[in-house]
Amino acid sequence: MTIEEAQARVDDWIKTIGVRYFSELTNTAILMEEVGELARIMARKYGEQSFKKGESEDQLADEMADVLWVLVCLANQTGVNLTEAFERNMTKKTNRDFERHQNNDKLK
């Protein structure tokens, strides 16, 4: 699935099953909540924290998908074409960081 297809699928789901988008502010708060849930799993799976009874690292992919879902909702609501935005961002990072990272002794 392309990013464009993902944006269309989320929009269709919202309009047919979800009734309407939550407000942009609500979705921003939800995005922060989902990022926090992802961070919690990352801290336990890759960091020094341990899972509590009943918690599982198996939810990692689902939490990443939750973050993507809400980000796509926000893009749709604000008229952002994520494909175009991502392409511009990749170009920016490539132009800005190529030599910087290649010359960073910390990365060698």
The model's pLDDT over 38-64, given as tens digits with 9 standing for 90+, comes to: 999 999 999 999 988 887 778 999 999
- pLDDT for residue 83 is more than 90: yes
Tokens of 76: 């749709």
pLDDT band at 81 (very low <50, low <70, confident <90, very high): very high
Burial class, 73, CB count within 10 angstroms (exposed 0-12 / middle 13-18 / buried 19+): buried
List the domain boundaries for the chain. 3-107
What is the pTM for the complete model shown? Answer: 0.89
pLDDT at position 54: 81
pLDDT at position 67: 98
pLDDT at position 21: 98
Of residues 56, 60, 28, the one with CA closest to residue 42 = 60
Could you tell me if residue 80 is left (phi over 0), alpha (psi between -120 and 50 degrees) or otherwise beta? beta
Fold of the domain built from segment(s) 3-107: Helix Hairpins (1.10.287)
